Every structure is written in structure tokens, then in C-alpha cells.
Amino acid sequence: MKPAVNDVIPQRYPFEMIDKFIDVQPGVSASAIKLISINEWFFANQTSSRLAVPRPIMIEAMAQTGVAAILSIPENKGKNVFFGEIKNATFQDDFRPGDKLEFEVVMKKLKRNIGLGHGTIHRDGQSICEADLIFAVE
């Protein structure tokens, strides 16, 4: 399914870090797209010759993608999901204006109110970031 971002995750501008979902499989996985624009709010205090998206922003976008897989489960509708922990995050490069990023989070475990997901960020078919994410459901 391809739900609208605002229909699934509670974040709104400027904290909504993804543009659209490609696919959401409730409790299993989610994938999303983000087009990095030079007009992003987090570029405001950076010099124009070295613009790079702060890495915590990219981890947050990955987490928002994972939250979609959790909140799309019918019994979780209307609940809050908290991003609990980042494990083993690795970055191969920075992200810059003009990049089209594809996020994918696959839920490895989802028991009661705790979830463990593995996320990746791809640019031009190449994996640029990977991380294990822990979620807590309200």
C-alpha cells in the first residue's frame, strides 16, 4: 500500500523528513523517498560550497519510515511510536542538495510494544547508510 505521509506518521513540517511512501507492509517493512532541496531548513547556517544534510536528520527520516510499518498495523492506529535507540549506524558518504534518497526499513522483531528494524538509505542504487533502530510503541 502507498499511504500519504500525513495519514501515517504524526510529524509535520519542519520535522516531517520524508516526502512520500513507496510501499508500506504493516508490521513488516516500509520504504519512502526524500528529494533533498537546497531550500531545506537545516541548510540555513551552512556555507553554500559545502552543504551536507546533518546525519541525525537522515537517521530521523529512516526512523519515520520504520514508524510507518508499525503504525499501519490496525491495532496501533492512533498510538505513538517513540524512536528508542540507534545501533550500528554506518555512513559511506554525505547527502547533498539534489540527492534522491530511498529509505527502507525492515522490521526484524516486533513483540508487544518493542520493535527492532534494520534501515538502509540508498542513493542512485548504492547503499549510503545502514542502521539498526529500536522503537517503542505507546
Structure confidence by residue, pLDDT tens digits, 78-133: 889 988 899 999 999 999 999 999 999 999 998 888 999 999 999 999 999 999 99
The structural domains of the chain, with segments of one domain joined by +, span: 5-137
Cα 82 to Cα 114: distance, rounded to the nearest angstrom: 10
How many residues are listed for the chain in this entry? 138
Choosing among 1.10.3720.10, 3.40.630.10, 3.10.129.10, 3.20.20.450, the CATH entry for 5-137 is 3.10.129.10
What global pTM score does this model have? Answer: 0.91
Query: Which pLDDT score is estimated for 77?
Result: 85
Taken in order 43, 46, 52, 53, the sign of the CA dihedral is negative
Give residue 20's pLDDT band: very low, low, confident or very high (50, 70, 90). very high
21: left (phi over 0), alpha (psi -120 to 50) or beta: beta
Is 117 within 8 Å of 62 (Cβ atoms)? no
Is 100 within 8 Å of 121 (Cβ atoms)? no
